[in-house]
Each structure stands twice: as C-alpha cells, then as structure tokens.
Structure 1
C-alpha cells in the first residue's frame, strides 16, 4: 500500500470531535434518563428495604434510602401463613398453564384468519372482534361457567382464558407481514396447514409470541377476581387472592403470625409490604428474559410497504 493509501486509511479512522453543544446535550440526556430510571426503580427498592428493616422505623417513615435494623423475619414468618405455599403453587400452575394454552390456541386461530380461502373468514373475524367491545355480562358468564362445570375447579383459571382476541390480532398482523412465499414453497413440497403452522409459521413468530406471553402471564399472575367470583375451595386460592384477603383483614393476619421471640416486631405495615414483595418478585424475575423481544414484537407489522 502506498503512503497515500495509509494516510487515507488513517484519515477515515479518525472520529470527528464532538462539539460543545453535542457534549452538553449528551450530559443532559444522561441526567434525564438517570432521573427517570431512579423514578422507576426506587418504588421497588423502597419496598424491598422496608421489608427487611426495623418495622417500627418503617411505621415512623424513617426508612428512605438505607435499611436499618436489617432482618428477614418478615419473610420467615410470612411463609408460615396458612395456605400460602399451596396458593403460590396454584398461581404458578395457573400462570404457566394458561400462558402455554393461550399461546397455542390464540396463534392457531390467528393463523387461520390469515387464510383467504377460509369459509366465512370476514364474518367470523368480525364476529370475534366484536367480543372485545361487547360481552354478555357478569351473571350470564357466571351461569355459563356453572353449566359447563367449571366453577370451583382449577379449570376455571385455564379454559376461559384460552383465547385472547387482542393477542390474536397482534399475532395475525405479524403473520400477514411475513408474506406467503414460505408457505407456498411448503405446499409445493406436500405440507399441509398443520405442518406449515408448527414447522414454518410458529418458529418465525418468536418476538410477538414472547410479547403476548408476557401480557398473558402478567394478567394471570395478578388476577384475583376470578378466584373471588368462582372459587370457594380454599385449596384453589391463588396467591393474589390470599394477599387480597390478608390486606382486607390485616389485623387477623397479624394474629396468625407468631410475633414472639427475638428480632423486630411484625406489624400490619410489614405484612402488607412483605406480601406485596412476595407477589411481584416472581414476575419481575421473568420480565428480563422476554424484554429483548418486547419492543421488537410490538413493532413487527407496524410498517406497511
């Protein structure tokens, strides 16, 4: 390489120095995002430090940034609340089971709504969309579930949530943006609808499926109204409903907990904070694994060309 070539390479490798206005902008942007991050993170941080701090100081609002009198008695004693472990198991089984079934049913329904040769496609699609805006009402739905034998069974958590129309629309839009070429090639090789769906379409829907899975899992994990309406068997209570009951009867909950022995006293405020932490920690642990698909899944199919 000639000397001129080396100079050209060296010249292209040099970065343009930032102007003063660019530096100021970058500093301001970093500060703004740090403030926004602090605003988002601090409530969770405050919740956690309050659950492990001296409860008397928490009641007096003396805990702000640093925990004092660190102890884990709140968590140890909360685990002794009657039916807590079973309720946690029911919540996990409900969340995992409903999310898995909903992903299969919703995506399968969305796939067939993309087929132009589906009988009555426009009618059935519009009929399905209407259910997003109009429902039969609480009493007819309750009676319908009762006639189906779902009330006061574990299946009341699973079967009614098998289809989500909103999630179906998202998946349908994503499948339509993929184009028909791959499926047409598979049809020429003798593949049917089921083969195309499970071996071609579904593997390409990872971003949108991760997004709607997060929607479904969060909704199922946080829901307590289904238990309140349809369940009377205490063995089928979810963790969220148990939290709801304990928060409404916090005095009775405090009596269930053994407050004798060394360590900081257990207070009603400590019960509220610790139960809240126990409920939100699992779903917070799940979010980082699907976060990288979240924005991509929402944006897929948004641009039409």
Structure 2
C-alpha cells in the first residue's frame, strides 16, 4: 500500500525569501573564496597575460612560479622546520595548557585562584617586544629550535577555554575514579582528556595555525638559515620579489622556454604555498571547532 507523501504548502513570500537567502549565501561564499582563488589562478598564469587581468581561469597556464620557489629558495628545509615546529608546539601546548587548566579546577589546591588569575593577567599586561627579546636571550633560546617550542607550552587563552570546558564535566565521574583508586594523572589521562575532545580539537586548530603563521621570533632571534621558517621565507620573498625581478631584465625573470616570471607572480605563489597546509588541515577538525568554542565559552 502506497503512502501519500505529506506536503506542506509554501507561500509565495516564503519561496521568494528562500531564493533570496540562497542567493545571498552563494554571494557570501563567493566573496570569501574568490580572493584565495584569485591568488591561485594568478600564480598559475603567464605573467604577461595575467598583467592584463585574470578573472576565473588561469591565462597561459604555467607552474614555473612554484618551480622557481623550490629551486631558488630554501623552501624544502623551511617547510620541514615549520612543520616540525607546528607539530611539536601544538602537542606540547595541548598537554601543558590542558594539564594546567585541570590543575586549577582542583578545589583543594593551595592558592588556586591566585595562580590562575596571575596567568590570566598576562593576557592584558604584555611587557612588550624589548623585554621579550631580552628574556629569550637571557634564557639562551636565541638561535635554537627551542625558541619555537618553549614559550608556547602554556597559553592563557587556551587555559581559559579548557578550564571552562572541564568545569562542565560532571564531578561525579572524577569522584568515582578517585574512589576506585585513580590518581591525579590517571584521572586526567583516562577521563578528562577523552571527554574534552571538542575543546582540545578547537585549541589544536588555534595552536597549530598560530605556530605555522608565526615569524616574528624567527626574524628577531633566529638568524641562522637552518632555523628559517616558511613564514619568514614568505616575508623575505614578498619584500624582495620586486628587487629580484628588477635585477633580471627590468621586472621579469627569464626562464627556460621563454617563460617569464614577474614579481607579483612570485608573491602570490609564495602566499599559496604558505597558506595551503592550513587550508588542508582545518576541514578535518571543523566539526569539533564550533562545538568546542561554544561549549568552552558558556561560562567563565
């Protein structure tokens, strides 16, 4: 026996509203994505044709800009340094911030509120660039890989998010584990961390993007080429692209096969190379991101 499909009558005004909403959403997506798409098609276009304007598709398709970056810069090593920095910094930041956040939720901890507020106040009272430089040099972190790791192990903002999330976990779970003989670290590893996956994933996005995009510490305190990151490479390429182009026949770099390369193409290709890893990682953590932010910001 066939069941009749239930139909809900939609008024003409509601249909028009749906169409307007759809058009607005498509337009919003286009406005958000087109700048990034423009960088891609410009970097893949022949500079002579791109200078006359590109809109939706590359003109004179070529990947020489990316080949030039790989061959004429220390990109491979810089990418390895940035990747290592991002992975290690993210893992240690998650461990350090979540452990500290769980620690300050313990009501029997002596001076808990003072310690927590002392860390939080650092968000509002930054000493400035010069004290930071002097401190890093005093600890002999300049020109070492530890410069990228140690300062980021504890982050006050991440502590706030994780602490607020942990306080929403039922206390009965922790009390039951304590009665069964579980200690502080066992409760933290077996109960708190597994139940905090949404906020941990959220903090992982923040920490990894922050570590990947950071370049100022490299610029100020790590002059060794062996410690150069992708972001500093991007900074140097953007600043020197015009100089490099002008030094090779007044604005273009002549390549084999009569392919030319302009300063703008170098800048855009380098930007794509630096941004693409973040764009590839974010979709895998997106489902946790919004949930973690909302739940971690309910109360403070």
Same fold (TM over 0.5): yes
1:203 is the counterpart of 2:198: no
Is the CA contact (8 Å cut-off) linking 2:50 and 2:59 kept in structure 1?
no
C-alpha contact (below 8 Å) 2:202/2:288 kept by paired residues = yes
For 1:58, the equivalent position in structure 2 comes to 50
Q: How many residues align?
A: 295
- What does 1:153-192 correspond to in 2, within 5 Å? 153-192=144-183
Alignment pair present for 1:36 and 2:33: no
Unaligned runs of 5+ in 1: 1-5
- Given candidates 56, 65, 71, the residue that maps to 1:80 is 71
The answer on 1:266 being equivalent to 2:258 is: no
Unpaired runs of at least 5, structure 2: none
**Residues 66-105 of structure 1: matches in 2 within 5 Å?**
66-105=57-96
Residue 3 of structure 1 is matched in structure 2 by: none
Could you state the TM-score of these two structures normalised by the residue count of structure 2?
A: 0.93
Distance 1:85 1:137 in 2: 33
RMSD of aligned residue pairs (Cα, Å): 1.9
Equivalent residue runs for 1:213-224 within 5 Å: 213-224=204-215
Q: Does residue 137 of structure 2 align to residue 146 of structure 1?
A: yes
Structure 2: distance between partners of 1:303 and 1:135: 26
Q: Is the 2:222–2:228 Cα contact (8 Å) retained in structure 1?
A: yes
Q: Secondary structure at the match of 2:149?
A: helix
Separation in 2, partners of 1:141, 1:276: 28
The answer to whether structure 1 residue 291 and structure 2 residue 282 are counterparts is no
Q: TM-score, normalised by structure 1?
A: 0.92
> Closer, same or farther in 2 for the Cα pair 1:269/1:302, shift >3 Å?
closer
Distance 1:159 1:303 in 2: 30
Secondary structure, in 3 states, of the residue corresponding to 1:80? Answer: helix
Residue 15 of structure 1 deviates from its aligned partner by: 3.3
Alpha-carbon distance between aligned partners in 2 of 1:217 and 1:253, rounded to the nearest angstrom = 32
Q: Is the 8 A contact 1:77 1:258 kept in 2?
A: no
Of residues 6, 17, 32 in structure 2, which corresponds to 1:25? Answer: 17
Q: Secondary structure at the match of 1:201?
A: helix
Cα displacement (A) at 1:141: 2.1
| Cα distance in structure 2, aligned partners of 1:53 and 1:223 | 29
